[in-house]
């Protein structure tokens, strides 16, 4: 018996749109989607994905979120951080690499010797590679982190745009990442991780009044609680104590909105088991727009697809469906 030995089946937005329109007999198999129809369907796909997320019960019994882990690198004596792609004061990312200096570096250096330009240990099974334009942080001997940008392709050395503010010893950590973390809409947990990768749970507040009632705030030391405030384009994090030990990082388990589908060529960012649910929900929403009748057979197919999606273990995947608390379909 010959099998494919592959598990990477994927679909694009165009594939889901094609299937949905075939389901309601707007298209026959193999027929191409008209440009105007594709525009309507892509807009509808984005609308339903946005309604399948967050706290609004909009999805016929389903909610969809993206769970990710964010690492926030702390700054000395800084209580407040703004997380988002335009943020300049917070070094937060969903994926970073770590290496060490292979030689001591003096103040004002821009060519820095590094042990490796790849990291295979921070995320087991994944290789994080330094590239030109990455944000890089070098731990200095005074305990602060010098942040800059990588210029050129790193190898045994890397060139940084901003010269070292002070000396850094051989063996000091070097962190890098490509993209800043996006604004998130909710948070599940927060931990303070030390250099030995030991985590300490933090209390998370989302209500300003409750946070302000804390008796101890604004001192120096390790945070024991944080306040999370989603803003329009960013998320603000406030620590109850200002950090002094920058070997420790804030590790957040957060909820992101589902990604936009800007083009029909975009890949569907859902587990394979959810493709059918997405296809049939899109078909259900497109039927009245294309003057097609929603039949009992259509309804049965929709119920089967969404039922299977609901049965997935939400703790076993980074993206998950959650049914209504009252069990509504």
Q: Give the residue from 177, 195, 217 where a domain finishes.
A: 177
Domain that holds residue 288: 13-52+261-323
259 is written with which tokens? 């990604």
Q: Is residue 231 part of a domain?
A: no
pLDDT digits 0-9 by tens, 3-19: 888 888 899 999 999 99
What is the predicted pLDDT for the residue at 93? 92
Ramachandran category for residue 133: left, alpha or beta (phi over 0 → left; psi -120 to 50 → alpha): left
Q: Is residue 228 part of a domain?
A: no
What is the predicted pLDDT for the residue at 323? 38
* Contact by Cβ (8 Å): 268, 16: yes
Q: Where are the beta strands (DSSP E) in the chain?
A: 62-73, 80-83, 91-93, 97-100, 111-113, 118-119, 128-129, 135-139, 145-151, 157-160, 173-177, 186-193, 199-201, 203-205, 219-220, 225-230, 235-239, 241-242, 249-256, 319-323
Q: Is residue 88 part of a domain?
A: no
Q: What are the C-alpha distances in Å from 70 to residues 91, 134, 215?
A: 10, 17, 28
Residue 166 belongs to a domain with what CATH number?
2.40.30
List the chain residues with pLDDT less than 50.
54-61, 316, 320-329
Q: Is residue 70 part of a domain?
A: no
Number of domains in the chain: 2
CB within 8 A of 4, min separation 6: which ones? none
The reply to whether the predicted model has a pTM over 0.85 is no
Question: Do 46 and 106 belong together in one domain?
Answer: no
Q: Is residue 274 part of a domain?
A: yes
Question: Do 103 and 172 belong together in one domain?
Answer: yes
136 is written with which tokens? 């890089």
Q: Is residue 299 part of a domain?
A: yes
What is the predicted pLDDT for the residue at 312? 67
Q: Is residue 158 part of a domain?
A: yes
Residue 167: CB atoms within 10 Å: 15
What is the predicted pLDDT for the residue at 183? 87
Q: State the Cα–Cα distance between residues 291 and 284, nearest whole angstrom.
A: 11
What is the predicted pLDDT for the residue at 58? 38
Widest CA span of the chain, in angstroms?
74
Q: Give the residue from 148, 177, 206 where a domain finishes.
A: 177
Q: Give the residue from 157, 177, 197 where a domain finishes.
A: 177
* Contact by Cβ (8 Å): 78, 175: no
Place of tokens 């009748």: 293
Q: Is residue 319 part of a domain?
A: yes
Tell me which DSSP letter residue 143 carries: S
Question: Do 48 and 100 belong together in one domain?
Answer: no
Question: Do 102 and 159 belong together in one domain?
Answer: yes
**Percent helix, percent strand, percent coil in the chain, to nearest 5:** 20, 30, 50
């Amino acid at each position: 018996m010959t099998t494919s030995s592959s598990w990477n089946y994927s679909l694009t937005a165009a594939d889901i749109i094609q299937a949905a329109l075939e389901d309601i007999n707007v298209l026959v198999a193999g027929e191409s989607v008209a440009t105007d129809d594709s525009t309507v369907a892509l807009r509808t796909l984005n609308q339903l994905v946005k309604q399948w997320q967050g706290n609004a019960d909009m999805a016929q019994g389903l909610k969809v979120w993206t769970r990710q882990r964010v690492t926030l690198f702390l700054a000395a004596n800084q209580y407040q951080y703004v997380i988002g792609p335009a943020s300049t004061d917070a070094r937060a990312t969903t994926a970073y690499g770590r290496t060490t200096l292979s030689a001591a570096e003096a103040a004002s250096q821009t060519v820095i010797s590094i042990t490796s330009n790849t990291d295979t240990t921070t995320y087991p099974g994944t290789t994080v590679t330094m590239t030109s334009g990455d944000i890089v942080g070098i731990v200095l001997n005074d305990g602060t982190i010098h942040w800059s940008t990588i210029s050129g392709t790193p190898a045994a050395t890397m060139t940084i745009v901003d010269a070292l503010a002070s000396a850094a010893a051989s063996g000091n950590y070097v962190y890098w990442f490509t993209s800043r973390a996006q604004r998130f809409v909710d948070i599940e947990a927060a931990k303070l991780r030390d250099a030995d990768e030991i985590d300490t749970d933090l209390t998370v507040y989302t209500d300003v009044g409750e946070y302000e009632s804390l008796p101890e705030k604004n001192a120096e030391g390790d945070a024991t609680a944080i306040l999370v405030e989603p803003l329009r384009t960013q998320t603000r994090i406030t620590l109850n104590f200002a950090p002094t030990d920058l070997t420790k990082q804030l590790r957040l388990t957060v909820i992101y909105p589902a990604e936009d589908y800007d083009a029909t060529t975009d890949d569907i960012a859902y587990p394979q088991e959810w493709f059918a649910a997405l296809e049939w929900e899109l078909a259900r929403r497109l039927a009245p727009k294309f003057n097609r009748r929603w039949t009992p057979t259509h309804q049965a197919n929709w119920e089967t697809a969404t039922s299977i999606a609901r049965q997935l273990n939400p703790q076993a995947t980074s993206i998950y469906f959650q049914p209504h608390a009252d069990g509504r379909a």
